[in-house]
């Protein structure tokens, strides 16, 4: 069912680990500047936007933030027992953003009617065009976020993994250097730490 005040994305997936996928969504939300409070459940991830929580106000007013003007969201993974597939559903409330733009248009229209000028009229038209463009732009960006997370998983891990050939780099490091990586003293991401553990394990097994 289409709901005008929500973006709803759905995708049927085969052979997925729903815990891993929910974790990937959780990590990608965190790293994309999402200011919502997340609650993890068995087969879903709920994201609540409390507009009265001023700890997140600085992100809420940033128009370049992917989640700017977004209300509550949720990711739900439903198994289909008939063919062992999963339906992944991403629901995003944009009601607050629509209300804000509607009020802005009404106020702008009232000002235009009481103080009409050609320049103000063209500015009103431009404002409406930008509002419509922002709506579809947000739709595309959220859809891309949804599809890439399903396809790739943790986007940050994937980016780091592609940036360098870490397996070859770790093979050239000494045991003490690898131990420092494993201890977390090098500020490298978790994916590199896991590769370091694998490398030290391979060395120990070969001795």
What is the arithmetic mean of pLDDT over 76-83?
A: 84
* Percent of the chain scoring above 90 in pLDDT: 18
Selected from 3.30.310.80, 3.30.870.10, 3.40.190.10, 2.40.50.140, the CATH number assigned to the domain covering 6-105+142-154 reads 3.30.310.80
User: Among residues 161, 6, 31, 17, which one has the least CA distance to residue 88?
Assistant: 17
Question: Is 63's pLDDT higher than 70?
Answer: no
Record the pTM.
Answer: 0.71
**Looking at per-residue confidence, does 207 or 166 come out higher?**
166
Question: Which carries the bigger pLDDT value, residue 91 or residue 203?
Answer: 91
pLDDT band at residue 162 under the 50/70/90 scheme: low
Identify whether the C-beta of residue 53 lies closer than 8 Å to the C-beta of residue 29.
Answer: no
Least confident of 10-24, 38-52, 58-72: 58-72
**pLDDT for 179 beyond 80:** yes
Spell out the residues 6+ positions from residue 46 whose beta carbon is closer than 8 angstroms to its own.
38, 39, 72, 73, 74
Q: Are strands 73-80 and 85-93 parallel, antiparallel or unpaired?
A: antiparallel
- Strands lying side by side in the sheet with 6-14: 6-14, 85-93, 73-80, 44-48, 37-40
Q: For 41-62, what is each residue's pLDDT tens digit?
A: 889 999 987 766 555 555 555 6
> Which DSSP state fits 188?
-
For residue 51, the model assigns a pLDDT of 65
Every domain of the chain and the residues it spans: 6-105+142-154, 164-206
| Higher-confidence position of 154 and 73 | 73
User: d(Cα 154, Cα 23) in Å, to the nearest integer?
Assistant: 8
Task: Give pLDDT, residue 161.
Answer: 59
For residue 163, what pLDDT band results from cuts at 50, 70 and 90? low
- Indicate the pLDDT class of residue 147, thresholds 50, 70 and 90: very high
Q: What is the DSSP letter of 57?
A: H
Alpha carbons 107 and 101: distance in angstroms, whole number: 10
Confidence of residue 166 (pLDDT cuts 50, 70, 90): confident
Q: Which two tokens stand for residue 137?
A: 């732009």
Q: Which residues contact 91 (CB under 8 A, 6 or more apart)?
A: 6, 7, 8, 73, 74, 76
Write down the pLDDT at residue 91: 94
Separation of alpha carbons 196 and 207, rounded Å: 17
Vertex 85 angle, CA 84 and 89, to 5°: 145
């Amino acid at each position: 069912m289409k709901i005008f005040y929500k973006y709803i994305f759905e995708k049927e997936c085969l052979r997925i680990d729903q815990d891993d996928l929910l974790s990937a969504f959780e990590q990608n939300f965190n790293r994309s500047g999402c200011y919502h409070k997340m609650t993890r459940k068995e087969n879903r991830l709920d994201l609540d936007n409390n507009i009265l929580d001023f700890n997140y106000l600085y992100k809420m007013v940033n128009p370049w933030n992917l989640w700017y003007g977004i209300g509550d969201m949720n990711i739900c993974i439903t198994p289909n027992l008939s063919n062992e597939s999963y339906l992944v559903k991403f629901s995003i409330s944009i009601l607050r953003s629509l209300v804000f733009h509607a009020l802005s248009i009404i106020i702008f229209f009232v000002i235009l009617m009481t103080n009409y000028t050609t320049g103000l009229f063209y500015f009103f038209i431009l404002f409406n065009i930008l509002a419509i463009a922002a709506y579809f732009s947000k739709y595309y960006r959220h859809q891309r976020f949804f599809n890439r997370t399903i396809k790739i998983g943790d986007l940050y891990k994937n980016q780091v993994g592609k940036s360098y050939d870490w397996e070859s780099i770790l093979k050239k490091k000494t045991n003490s250097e690898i131990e420092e990586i494993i201890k977390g003293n090098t500020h490298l991401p978790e994916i590199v730490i896991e590769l370091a553990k694998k490398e030290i394990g391979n060395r120990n097994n070969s001795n």
